Amino acid sequence: MDNRGFEELEHTADLAYRLHAADMESLLHTATRALHHAQELVFDRPAGRSRSLSLTSFDRETLLVQWLEEELFTLATDGLAWCSWDISMTGDASLRARVTPTPAASYQVEIKAVTFHHLHISEREQGLETVIVFDV
Amino acid sequence: MVRKQDFQRRADCIWELPPSFQSGMHVPVRVFADSAILEAALKDKSMTQAVNASMLPHLAGPVMVMPDVHQGYGFPIGGIAASLYPNGVISPGAIGYDINCGVRMLSTRIPFEAAKPHLPDVISALNRNCPSGVGVGGPIQLSEKELRRVCRQGSHWALKNGYARPEDVAFTEQQGEIEGADPAAVSARAMKRGRGQLGSLGAGNHFIEIDVVDAIYDQDAADAMQLSEGELTLQIHCGSRGFGHQVCSDYVRQFQDAARKYKIHLPDRELVCAPLTSLEGKAYLAAMACAANFAFCNRQLLSHYARLAFEETLAGRVKSWDLTLIYDIAHNMGKIETHLIEGQPQRVCVHRKGATRAFGPGHPDVPTAYQTIGQPVLVPGSMGTSSWILVGTEASMTTSFGSSCHGAGRTMSRRKAKKTVRGERLLEELEQQGIHVRARSMPGLAEEAPAAYKDVDAVVEVVSRAGIARKVARLRPVAVVKG
């Protein structure tokens, strides 16, 4: 694991990442950067206007998927990705965030979906760990 | 960990892993492979994923695994599972995010030698006319009302709006219109994503390819499909675009809760399912049908633009430049079908993920023109290799829930392909082989290098030896648009 908090794993057809973070907020942060890595996303324009976002799920794994799906949807419909985000957990599986959607200068890989494949957030000595697979 | 010695060899190219292999398996896993393909498949997690799929409740028979199998994200690509209807379940993840990803094949009366000097123009026109690439939408911006019509009518929407001929609809699986589509079951987000994407190819492994009929193995079937050696064909491979991706994402997430509600315990959350007759199950079937119809319509629009490209570049240069649809077939779909289970007709919901329906001769769902030969099964290769046209057989109906393979199947990860292959170099090599390529992205081209795939000829040999499909024709690529 490097200091980005994620590493890419071997997968025959899709893109898989192991994520590691101190807590749930950091895990969501790391997952977003892993998603950008998977997409080969590049920003080179000024940041857009920030907006707030609230999400509630029935467990942490679903919240993680829902959070990433929010950005996939914004990118697919408006060509915007989040260049910054500030997340506060408001419960075990709910969050409030301030995100800054910004035009993506380019992205090379179309992620079809964030999957639940063997998705489980584990408690480790140094924090949380999970593996997430993106369908390409 | 599944090992080769855990399998029992049932017949030539047919292996079975009994339910006793692992606790929780309800049915066997039946693999169609020769020894080499089976050994290769054991190197990734595809067999473990097939074992997990066999733990879905109320299955009607073995989980089938085709020789083009590779690891997916829950259900293996190249997998088939049939659940009992009405008492079984539907699993969106066992169909996949690209609902009704599929292939259509069109024939021409254009001799390769006559078209050869013009192929660079033709492929450039296809590239211009058929929008492709990451984040690239289609040429039509649909109103929500019109998108709801596409959801319900599929290819018939294209027919009503001048993008199709009646015979196109007749030669599309289910006449390009899956029953039970209800746009009310589709989220506002999916509708928003779908409005601008009709008539677009997408990216990844989606492509448009011009091939030459290289060899004919069954003259009667080739005649029925108007295929002649040395003449051009056209393949289009794509699906339901962001519309289908969103439909599947919405339901996989909703089903996390439904699986708990119905007390369905599975080894992988991506396999979540709900009873077919539950509110959740019915809603997914209705939404899936919308996405499937969108995909049929999408491939139809691309065919229309392809016809225009052929006319633009070949009119006056060859005798006939028309494209005639041979067949359009899905390879990611859940369908309610009737199959013989222990000699008795039984309705089942067949989940096919990276697997093609392969109905045999005489089946009522096979178009009249193909009644005596069986349904065409389209098996695209990997840009620089052969593609195949097969037909379904009587044996496929009894051995594999009327299913066969859908392509070559990946063996190399996308990242490894990009590290191993340089897109620019690959482009040169393909040009040297006489294959003209138009690609939006060189890294994207490298990901889809022929070296990243299995040998499609070996895959086809397996389904042929196992008797679940019969060879009709082998095709050789001469020009490709990569998404």
Residue A14 has which token pair?
A: 């899709």
ipTM: 0.95
Q: Do residues A22 and A29 touch, judged by C-beta distance below 8 A?
A: no
| pLDDT beyond 70 at A2 | no
Query: Judging by DSSP bridges, how do beta strands B344-353 and B387-392 pair with one another?
Result: unpaired
Q: Which residue of A has its CA nearest to B260?
A: A58
Give SS3 for B121.
helix
Position A47 scores a pLDDT of: 79
Q: Which of B249, B254, B441 to mutate to test the interface with A (most CBs of A within 10 A)?
A: B249
Q: Do residues B77 and B103 touch, judged by C-beta distance below 8 A?
A: no
| pLDDT beyond 70 at A1 | no
Give the A-side interface with B, CB within 8 Å. Answer: 8, 10-15, 40, 58-59, 61-62, 65-66, 69, 73, 75-77, 79, 107-110, 112-119, 133, 135-136
Over residues A78-88, the mean pLDDT reads 93
Q: With 0-12 CB in 10 A as exposed, 13-18 as middle and 19+ as buried, what is B344?
A: exposed
Residue B259 has which token pair?
A: 């699986």
Q: Which of B383, B320, B380 is nearest to B111 (CA)?
A: B320
pLDDT digits (tens, 9 = 90+) for A18-70: 999 999 999 999 999 999 999 999 987 777 889 999 999 989 999 999 999 99
Domain boundaries, chain B: 4-411+453-482
| Separation in Å, CA of A83 to nearest CA in chain B | 18
**Catalytic residue among B58, B245, B406, B436, which?**
B406
Residue B293 has which token pair?
A: 């119809």
| Separation in Å, CA of B54 to nearest CA in chain A | 16
Domains of chain A, start order: 14-135 (3.55.10.10)
CA distances from residue B134 to A43, A69, B138, B319, B442 in whole angstroms, order as listed: 16, 17, 12, 36, 12
> What does pTM read for this prediction?
0.97
Residue by residue, DSSP assigns B359-387 as --TT-TTS-GGGTTT--EEEE---SSS-E
DSSP 8-state secondary structure symbol assigned to residue B275: E
CATH code, residues B4-411+453-482: 3.90.1860.10
A40 interaction partners in chain B (CB closer than 8 Å): 443
Q: Which of B103, B105, B128, B194 is nearest to B440 (CA)?
A: B128
Q: Do residues B198 and B150 touch, judged by C-beta distance below 8 A?
A: yes
Q: What are phi and psi of B404, to 5 degrees?
A: -145, -170
Question: Among the residues of B262-324, which ranges form H helices?
Answer: 279-314
| pLDDT beyond 90 at A3 | no
Q: Block means of pLDDT (10 residues each) for chain B, length 483 residues?
A: 96 98 98 97 96 98 98 96 97 98 98 98 97 93 97 98 98 98 98 97 95 98 98 98 98 94 96 97 98 98 98 97 98 97 95 98 98 98 95 97 96 91 95 95 92 96 98 98 93
Beta carbons within 10 angstroms of residue B200's beta carbon: 26
